[in-house]
Chains A and B, each alone.
Chain A
């Protein structure tokens, strides 16, 4: 859980930087801002989205695993006299 939160914090920071770079290129459309926005900005944005997807999938898997463990434990409880 702690790891997920850390990854999400990084993802948010990356996405904020990416959005910042893209907006910079709109306000200052010169070669370097435009090239940086279309390369670094988009790489950072994509990485942040992938990190978010990773956290969501990891969370979903953890929940599924927890459910399975519960279901596995439950029949034992019912059979116990």
Chain B
């Protein structure tokens, strides 16, 4: 079970919820006449405070969905999350998780699409994951999931290039980078292929089983 991360927004949500619940329970128990004072109190209890809870809760909820803990709360993702948490692992995901800029949000940072609608499209994709999990993978053993679950599309280099722009002189100094520059930018060679930086997550199928490793990039 994921845990509560106390933040100012959580505190605001809890205070608003307590105030709203107090007003509503008072009304339900006492049933006072519908005077102006009752209407104002109910407006606070049914409108202002619940909206406060919803606003703070939404922001907290969206932030929670970016945490590795959230992704790892579905059992089929536990090996990924465990590998990311492993300080001794040399996988790409783990190395990025140790980077302070990624930290506990490393799943989201790498998998979120780049671009104007990236966040929205990523959230919609996340809803699809939740649906698939509860309809197909919920009872699947992890060992079976390792051979079944795969990326829907090859991992785009654009996501790597959010940070590794391919313009940096130090990056370009490496002969392999220089030689593959156009292919990397055009997504013909994947940064996360076994010939380059290796698979981001060990022991999992990289992409659709129909595609070979080379095709999968």
Report A's interface with B, CB cutoff 8 A.
Answer: 1, 4-5, 8-9, 11-13, 15-16, 18-19, 22-23, 25-32, 34-35, 37-38, 41-42, 45, 48-49, 52, 55-56, 59
* Complex Cα gap A55–B46 (Å): 12
> Which of B9-17, B159-167, B179-187, B188-196 makes up part of the contact surface?
B9-17
Q: Which of B4, B25, B39 contacts A16 (CB 8 A)?
A: B25
Contact across chains for B4 and A49 when beta carbons are under 8 A apart: no
Report B's interface with A, CB cutoff 8 A.
Answer: 1-2, 4-5, 10, 13-14, 17, 20-21, 24-25, 27-28, 31, 34, 39, 42-43, 45-47, 49-51, 53-54, 57-58, 60-61, 64-65, 67, 69-70, 73-74, 127, 130, 133-134
Nearest A residue to B13 by beta-carbon distance?
A26
* Complex Cα gap A35–B70 (Å): 12
Q: Which of A13, A25, A55 contacts B61 (CB 8 A)?
A: A25
Contact across chains for B64 and A42 when beta carbons are under 8 A apart: no
Q: Which of B31, B47, B127, B133 contacts A5 (CB 8 A)?
A: B31
A-B contact pairs, 10 of them (CB 8 A): A22-B50, A22-B57, A23-B53, A25-B57, A26-B57, A28-B1, A29-B2, A34-B65, A48-B46, A52-B43
Chain B residues, Cβ within 8 Å of A8: 27, 34, 42
* Complex Cα gap A15–B48 (Å): 11
Contact across chains for A41 and B54 when beta carbons are under 8 A apart: yes
Q: Which of B42, B49, B64 contacts A34 (CB 8 A)?
A: B64
Q: Which of B17, B31, B34, B130 contacts A59 (CB 8 A)?
A: B34
With A23-B13, A29-B2, A30-B1: A15-B46 Cβ-Cβ less than 8 Å: yes
Q: Which of A5, A19, A28, A30 contacts B20 (CB 8 A)?
A: A19
Chain A residues, Cβ within 8 Å of B53: 19, 22-23
With A15-B20, A15-B45, A35-B127: A30-B54 Cβ-Cβ less than 8 Å: no
Chain B residues, Cβ within 8 Å of A4: 34
Residue from B21, B46, B58, B61 whose CB has the most chain A CB atoms within 10 Å: B46
* Complex Cα gap A65–B69 (Å): 58
Contact across chains for B74 and A45 when beta carbons are under 8 A apart: no
* Complex Cα gap A28–B5 (Å): 10
